[in-house]
Amino acid sequence: MEGSHTVQNDYESLDVHVGQCFAVLVTADQEPKDYFVVASTRFTKREVTATGVIRYTNGKGAPSPKLPPPPVGWAWSLNQFRTFRWNLTASAARPNPQGSYKYGSVNITRTIKLANTAQKVDGKLRYAINGASYVEPTTPLKLAEYYGVADKVFKYDTIPDDPPAEITKVTMEPVVLNLTHRNFMEIIFENRETAIQSYHLCGYAFFAVAVETGQWSPEKRKNYNLLDAVSRHTIQVFPKSWAAILLSFDNCGMWNIRSEVWDRRYLGQQLYVSVVSPNKSLRDEYNMPEGTLVCGVVESMPRPPPAYT
């Protein structure tokens, strides 16, 4: 943030654009005067704080000379996560991304725990999930499935649903989980490292039901928010902590679960989930487009007939 910004406004709300970074909307019943806007670093060893000044045209007085201290550590963010709730009293229908308003009463059909680790393989740093560091095959995963040659490109379910307490070896391979269409699943992200993690799931929204410190166990389910958890696509996992999500895999396709820390994703901290319609219905998934470019092991193969009708 740089400099000060004068706004034409009363003192109930204001919309301020600071530089080219973001817009801030503040609603407060405060006296008209100058106010500081403060941005501070989080989750870094070195604390950096930047300030800007909001000046009201009818303001009287300078901003307070004493700034509040920035949040220290990540406990503040953990507690903030627990305050995020759906408003069940709103008159309109809640968003329904996963087929059930009462997600907390749906039976869990499979639990998968995903634990991240960092190790060196042949002297080079690799990041892994459940002991497997993802590498891209020469043939796209979904293309291999369409042509019926997935077994020549990758193997399904090469990592365990429940990883060992200590992961001492990392393999490098394409990682694809074979999931049953419309199964309601529980995924536990377990962060065994000292750096904060962030995971994204493509193609789906999920219910983030818990984020806690320590190690996950089935007894931890008693702490889940099974009523009004927020539906989202990305979840943070704090150091030496875990996060639990619930969702129904009702969207057919090949979907990526990945670290949102880009160097970790590039060096293997990602995997794919394959969800195939058992009914081979166009209601669930489209056929491969006519103009699809092909490569790898399928490049010289005849085009397969449409799989879905």
- Domain borders along the chain are 103-275
| pLDDT value of position 4 | 43
Rounded CA gap, 256 and 268, in Å? 12
Band of the pLDDT at 45, cuts 50, 70, 90?
Answer: confident
**Alpha helices (runs of H) in the chain, residue ranges in sequence order:** 75-81, 141-146, 262-266
Tokens of residue 197, six digits = 């993690």
CA angle, 172 then 261 then 259, to 5°: 55
128 within 8 A of 269, measured Cβ to Cβ: yes
- Give the number of other Cβ atoms within 10 Å of residue 106's Cβ: 16
With 0.85 as the threshold, say if the pTM is over it.
no
Please write the tens of the pLDDT for every residue from 70-107: 777 788 889 889 998 887 776 555 555 444 468 999 99
| Nearest one of 120, 118, 245 to 193, comparing CA atoms | 118
- Give the number of other Cβ atoms within 10 Å of residue 234's Cβ: 11
Please write the tens of the pLDDT for every residue from 207-220: 999 999 999 999 99
- 110 phi and psi, to 5 degrees? -160, 140
Superfamily of domain 103-275: Cupredoxins -  blue copper proteins (2.60.40.420)
| pLDDT value of position 57 | 86
Please write the tens of the pLDDT for every residue from 123-151: 999 999 999 999 999 999 999 999 999 99
Please write the tens of the pLDDT for every residue from 12-22: 333 333 333 33
> What percent of the chain is modeled with pLDDT above 70?
87
DSSP secondary-structure letter at 156? Answer: B
Band of the pLDDT at 155, cuts 50, 70, 90?
Answer: very high
| Nearest one of 215, 209, 189 to 271, comparing CA atoms | 189
CA angle, 126 then 132 then 136, to 5°: 75
Rounded CA gap, 177 and 249, in Å? 12
List b or e across 79-100, with b for residues whose CB sees 16 or more CB atoms inside 10 angstroms. eebeeeebeeeeeeeeeebbee
| pLDDT value of position 287 | 93
| Residue 256 pLDDT greater than 60, yes or no | yes
17 or 285, greater pLDDT: 285
| pLDDT value of position 92 | 56
Rounded CA gap, 184 and 106, in Å? 7
Instruction: Name the residue with tokens 């085009």.
Output: 303
